[in-house]
Structure 1
Amino acid sequence: MPTTYDVKLLQKKEVAEGTLEFTLEKPAGFEYRAGQYGDLVLPPSTGLDDSNNKHGFSFVSAPFEDTLRMATRMRDSRYKKAAAQVPEGTMVQLLALWGDFTLQKNETIPAVFIIGGIGITPVHSIIAQATHDKTNHKITLIYANRTRAQAAYTEDFERMAAENKNFTFVAVYTATQGHVNGELIKQHVPDIVTPRYYLSGPEGMVKAMRTLLIEIGADEDNIKTEEFDGY
């Protein structure tokens, strides 16, 4: 069963065009695995009620960090409009913990992340933790957005790629480069059969990438997915 925590909203900031990040207090003793998520419950002062005051977000922050961070693409839903207006310092609730979109423990198997848009949030946590822990996972991230301005955390990944010799970062901007295709994947992943694949992003993108990977020779049993609905 999930646990409810009362936490303070410490900061809100835009981390990409149309993407807002929330920094929360980390409850004492709170533990999670990189890639997991929780629900952010907004207070009654927002005018929302039990039918619309809750939304699930992956943790952008890594478990080693002292605060919790979540991020979302802003849309016209009542929840997201209300979340954008909640003042810093407000007490909110965190309902956690869920999710198994986590990095495999076997460090000898390469991990390939093919990610679209806001699907990057759990992946930021995973790669930041692996970099911090200096694991031996060989990680490749192919991260697709329409433009660089819309790509959250690009500078973080560039920094981690410079710091972590086992991490390769491939940014794809579809407005100028087109969508991720089999040729691009094989360019950066010469051995298609061996890796574990992690797909995260809008539902249509995740399904298309899963089909593409199987077509170019990936084992469907080695593909893990996380779909972000409503984005």
Structure 2
Amino acid sequence: MPLYKIKLIDRQAIAIQTIKFVFEKPLGFTFKPGQYAGVTLINPPETDAGGITRRFSILSSPDDTELAIVTRIQSSAFKRVLNQLPLGSEVKFAGPTGTFTLHEDQSIPAVLIAGGIGIAPFYSMIRYATQHRQSQPLYLFYGNQSIQHAAFLNELSDAQQNHSLFKLIATMDTPDSAWQGEHGYITSTLIKKYISDLAQPNYYICGSPVMVTTLQETLVEMGIEEEKIRVEDFPGY
């Protein structure tokens, strides 16, 4: 796996406890939407049992001139150090790797199911599909606690306006009175409301291990063949 040293060039708060980190893109670096990379801190001032390396889905589109990742800021030493890293600091970046990528037959729709920060690989897929006007129908079910927790909600809404084959179905567990979208968790009832032919698409799930396992079981109970279901989860989510 290729290993690079890349500089942090920007940091942006994009939702509650959610930070986007932008790095220089190495010359000639290529990847497929949905792949991930390992980020290793160099001589961090503190560490813990979790170590100095984490893996992150690549948030960027392959067409972007920079590399971005996104994470929820939690209590680990890794997250604290990353969040306080001065701009211009270097990290080690190993990748790309992973097979959580869209199927090649664009006549087959893709149903993307994201919980919280599990949006990251799908954001790359959707941006690339929108940029290239791909012919594959994409449905994104995106669950969050509230609008304030929903990273890239505005950008995804814009993508839906700009790409007729992309449908965003966002749902909030505890929405405020201004929210006019779906309410509650992503369930079989919600999926059936928007997917008329359940057997046609391939399904992709990304989020916490509990969320991924629950929805994988839900899809199987709905009669979806297991080979049509792809999953990605991140321990320590």
Fold-level match, TM-score > 0.5?
yes
| Amino acid corresponding to residue 199 of structure 1 in structure 2 | I
Question: CA shift at 1:43, angstroms?
Answer: 1.7
- State how far apart, in whole Å, the 1-side matches of 2:188 and 2:194 are: 10
Residue equivalent to 1:103: 102
CA contact (8 A) 1:112 1:195 kept: yes
Which digits, 9 at most, give the CA deviation of each residue in 1:174-194, with x for residues without a partner?
Answer: 124221111110011111111
| Residue 218 of structure 1: how far off its partner (Å) | 1.4
Q: Does 1:187 align with 2:193?
A: yes
Structure 2 alignment gaps of length 5 or more = 176-182
Partner of 2:148: 149
Q: Are the equivalent residues in 2 in contact too, given 1:42–1:48 (CA < 8 A)?
A: no
Distance (whole Å) between structure 2 residues aligned to residue 32 and residue 204 of structure 1: 28
Question: SS of the residue aligned with 2:174?
Answer: helix
Q: TM-score, normalised by structure 2?
A: 0.94
Alpha carbons 1:46, 1:86 under 8 Å: kept = no
Shift of 1:217: 2.1
In the aligned structure 2, how far is the partner of 1:7 from the partner of 1:221? 37
Tell me the alpha carbon deviations over residues 37-56 of structure 1, each in whole angstroms, 9 at most, x when there is no partner: 11111121534499711111
Cα distance in 1 for residues equivalent to 2:202 and 2:104: 11
The structure in which a higher percent of residues are helix is 1
Query: 1:57 and 1:194 mapped to 2: Cα distance?
Result: 30
Q: Does the residue aligned with 1:72 lie in a helix, a strand or coil?
A: strand
Contact 1:202 1:229 in 2 (8 A): yes
**Does the 8 A contact of 2:144 with 2:150 survive in 1?**
yes
Question: Using the alignment, how far apart are the partners of 2:76 and 2:148 within structure 1?
Answer: 22
Alignment of 1:209-228 (within 5 A): 209-228=215-234
The one-letter code sitting in structure 2 at the alignment partner of 1:127 is I
TM-score w.r.t. the length of structure 1 is: 0.96
The answer on whether the counterparts of 2:50 and 2:76 sit within 8 Å (CA) in structure 1 is: no
2:180 aligned partner? none
Letter aligned with residue 71 of structure 1: V
Alpha-carbon distance in structure 2 between the residues aligned to 1:113 and 1:92: 30
For residue 26 of structure 1, what is the aligned residue in structure 2?
25
Q: Is the 8 A contact 1:22 1:69 kept in 2?
A: yes
Q: Percent identity?
A: 33
Q: What per-residue deviation string (whole Å, max 9, x for no partner) do you get for residues 92-145 of structure 1?
A: 211112111101110000100111011110110011111111110000000000
RMSD: 1.4
How has the CA–CA distance of structure 1 residues 192 and 51 changed in structure 2, closer, same or farther, with 3 Å as cutoff?
closer
Tell me if structure 1 keeps the 8 A contact 2:12–2:20.
yes
CA contact (8 A) 1:114 1:197 kept: yes
Letter in 2 for 1:185: I
